Every structure is written in structure tokens, then in C-alpha cells.
Structure 1
């Protein structure tokens, strides 16, 4: 199995905590990459585009959102069952709607608010 790269928002405390949990369970076949201007560009994204949803890639194939989570979970002990359940088409459809329309926008809005607050504090 080819190495999986996961692009994630390290500035988001929720994202960082989740990725740290996954990293503690991962073998060397998963690389967790923090979003920077350079890493986002390497993926063909802006920093904002990258921060809007989790991204994963392996063998040049990029997955986003729920599909990216499933890509990670398939490589983690205990989470393989979750990947199978969430990967089942009806559940996958519902979780994608919830993630894409509620969770990801909420986390991104919190991220932008943190950025504005940090910019204000540094002035």
C-alpha cells in the first residue's frame, strides 16, 4: 500500500487534537502535513482552500472531506470498522452532507475568527 499523506489545519485545536490521536496510532505509511502556504501550493490549493476540509492523497489520488477521513481510518487499527461503516453508500452520503455543510464550515469559520483575533492582537 502506498504512503498516505494527510493535509490538515494545525492552527485548529480540534483538528490538531484529532490528527495527533491518529498519528499516535499510525504506522510510517501515513504522513501528517501541516497546512502552510508551501504545502497548500504543493497540493494545488490556497491556504484557505486547504483549511476548509481535510485532504488526503496516495499515488496521486486526492480525497477530500469524509473520503479523506475514510482513507485515514482504513490504515488505523480499530478505525477500519468505522471506515467500512461510514464507507457504506447511504451512511457515506449522510456523513458527507453533515461534514461538508455543517462541520467543515463551522471549523473553518472558527479558524478565520482565530486568524482575525491573532491579527488584531499583533497590531
Structure 2
């Protein structure tokens, strides 16, 4: 199997998401990650069999081996490529915190989507993002 750079799919229309990605990009000095703004390039989702609704709801990362991660697993796949964060990822795995963190993240992500899409800006098939 051919390996390539991991891809982080993010909502570039979301101010919170843009700030977080800007932070990660500053750390990615070796350009190990491909950053894909799904707000500007929604066609990239189709290439990876990710629906727009799913991508707007939860963070998705395509790993270097082609596997798709979402939620906390997506963060862990991203963090393993970044200095400092790779250590945090190891701690999360060592302490087996994925499930409780994913539980919290999914609630936050649904809240973020509802706020982001309340004015109909998102095209997820449901204006409130549910």
C-alpha cells in the first residue's frame, strides 16, 4: 500500500476551527500534514468517501496509510505527526482516555455545528446540523 501525508479535513468557515488549525500548522514545520479546508474544497471529501454532513459534524483525518479517523481518533492521528502533541497522544493512549474524551468531544462537536449552522451557512442537509 502506498503511503502519503495524513490529511486533516477542517471547516475553514468556522473561526474556532481556523484558529486551531493555524496553531497546528505553525507546529508542522516539516509539512508532514496536508491541510484541506472543506469549506473551500468540498470536492476533496468525495475523493475520500466522507460525506459533507459527517465532515462538518466531526473532525476527520485520513492517515498516511489511507485509513479514515474521526473524533478523538482523528486528533490522535494528527497529533502523532506534530511535535509536543505526539507526547500528549501517547499519554491519552497509555491512560486509555480515548472513550471519555470522545464522549466529550462528540457533544462539543454537535454544539459547535448547531451554532455554526444556525444561520443556514452550512450545507449539511439540515440547517441546525443535527
> TM-score, structure 2 length as denominator?
0.80
TM-score, with length taken from structure 1:
0.84
Deviating above 2 A after TM superposition, structure 1's stretches of 4 or more consecutive aligned residues are 87-90, 114-117
CA 1:45–1:32 in structure 2 vs 1: closer, same or farther (change >3 Å)? same
Contact between 1:10 and 1:16, CA under 8 Å: does it hold in 2? yes
RMSD: 1.9
Residue 121 of structure 1 is matched in structure 2 by none
Q: 1:114 to 1:74 in 2, by over 3 A?
A: farther
Classify 1:111/1:42 alpha carbon distance in 2 versus 1 (closer, same or farther; 3 Å): farther
Distance 1:40 1:80, change over 3 A: same
Match of 2:97, SS state, is helix
Which residue does the alignment assign to 1:120? none
Q: How many residues align?
A: 116
Secondary structure class of the residue paired with 2:50: coil
Distance verdict in 2 for CA 1:15–1:24, change over 3 Å:
same
Q: Which consecutive residues of structure 2, in runs of 5 or more, have no partner in the other structure? A: 123-130
Return the offset for 1:115: 3.3
Distance 1:9 1:105 in 2: 14
How far has the Cα of 1:43 moved from its partner? Answer: 2.0
